[in-house]
Amino acid sequence: MRVLLIEDEPVLGQAVQEQVAADGHAVDWVARLDEADAALRAVDYGLVLLDLHLPDGRGLDLLKTLRRGGDQRPVIILTARDQISDRIEGLNAGADDYLVKPFDLNELSARVMAVSRRYAGNPNPLISSGKLKIDKAARRVWRGEEAIDLTKREWAILDLLTRRATAVISKEQMEEALYDFGSEIESNTVEVHISRLRKKLGRDAIHTVRGVGYRLGSD
Ligand code: CA
């Protein structure tokens, strides 16, 4: 999925960006609220990581504005240890979870996955589709008894397809989830990844819905 990171501390921001990208997500990193606002208007993010103290204002105000406008996308707030009142206010303002700095990067990964699974309405990390068994928490997939190795991009596509089992995901949604502002998109890349995934997972693992997109399963 595509993640927006709003954080003005350079060292922490870079560490978080690298961790989330290593988990196979596309990450846009901004350090100011006005940049965050512009990014949120331009891209349909799957999840937002929000620092609360930013150079041009409070992250909580952004969160409140989003929720007042009916925006339900998952938001995890990043707070300092001594700011308990911020955390309470953040949760009351509609944050889905929080992490206290300094946090373990693997805990960040786990919370990002748990929050996005809950948002998709499927908190269970184990998914079956035909002969496939997918463990989203462990990021592993089996075809029958055989464990299959996927690249980061292939995993990101499978992750998207398994967020809502019956949902059709368009090529544009896949591109948006796969590529952040810093990446070049080649026109046939999604098709290439889908074709490789079908070779690994079986031809009927991913169904093409003509003119619309792709979904898991054969019919
Ligand atoms: Ca800050």
Q: Is the confidence at residue 188, as pLDDT, over 80? A: no
The domains located in the chain, with CATH, are 2-119 (3.40.50.2300), 126-216 (1.10.10.10)
pLDDT bin (cut points 50, 70, 90) of residue 124 is: confident
| Beta-bridge partners for 53 | 58
Q: Is the confidence at residue 1, as pLDDT, over 80? A: yes
pLDDT bin (cut points 50, 70, 90) of residue 121 is: confident
CA of 55 to the centre of ligand 1 (A): 7
Q: Is the confidence at residue 219, as pLDDT, over 60? A: no
pLDDT bin (cut points 50, 70, 90) of residue 55 is: very high
pTM of the full structure:
0.86
Average predicted confidence (pLDDT) for the chain: 92
CA of 112 to the centre of ligand 1 (A): 20
Segment 79-109, tens digit of pLDDT: 987 788 999 999 999 999 999 999 999 999 9
CA of 53 to the centre of ligand 1 (A): 4
Segment 189-198, tens digit of pLDDT: 899 999 999 9
Q: Distance (Å, rounded) from C-alpha 75 to C-alpha 86?
A: 14
Exposure b/e, 192-211, CB count within 10 A at least 16 = b: ebbeebeebbbeebbeeeee
Do 217 and 211 touch, CB atoms closer than 8 A? no
CA of 120 to the centre of ligand 1 (A): 29
CA of 114 to the centre of ligand 1 (A): 24
pLDDT bin (cut points 50, 70, 90) of residue 165 is: low
- % of residues, the chain, pLDDT over 90: 73
Residue 21: φ, ψ to 5°: -65, -40
Token pair in block for residue 73: 């996308």
pLDDT (mean) for 47-58: 97
Q: Is the confidence at residue 20, as pLDDT, over 80? A: yes
pLDDT bin (cut points 50, 70, 90) of residue 53 is: very high
CA of 52 to the centre of ligand 1 (A): 6
Q: Is the confidence at residue 164, as pLDDT, over 80? A: no
CA of 107 to the centre of ligand 1 (A): 20
CA of 32 to the centre of ligand 1 (A): 9
CA of 58 to the centre of ligand 1 (A): 9
Least confident of 70-74, 79-83, 85-89, 144-148: 79-83
CA of 35 to the centre of ligand 1 (A): 14
